[in-house]
Amino acid sequence: QTLWFDLHQRLSDSESTACTYLLLVRDEMTVSHKHLGEFCSSLKQYLKSVAGERDCFHVTAVKLPDGVTFIIYEFWETEEDWKR
């Protein structure tokens, strides 16, 4: 899956508080087949919650072809925003 971001637009949208970079957080998880359904349900809730955060530019999850490995990508304004 290919992700496209209009970073130029994002960086020029802000007024005097324009950010000059984005923090990319990448998390990789392997889930047992036994807990896959529960994990997917929790992951959907997590993605919805994080996507609603004001300082999160984008969040997405990718399931790898093995069916049990997931990679989550989060783009944040700053490291402090991500930690919060």
Average pLDDT for 25-43: 96
Q: What is the CATH number of domain 22-83?
A: 3.30.70.100
Domain spans of the chain, in order of start: 22-83
Give the chain's radius of gyration (CA, Å).
Answer: 15
Q: What is the pTM of this model?
A: 0.74
Count of H-run helices and E-run strands, the chain: 3, 3
How does DSSP classify residue 83? H
What is the mean predicted confidence (pLDDT) over 3-19? Answer: 54
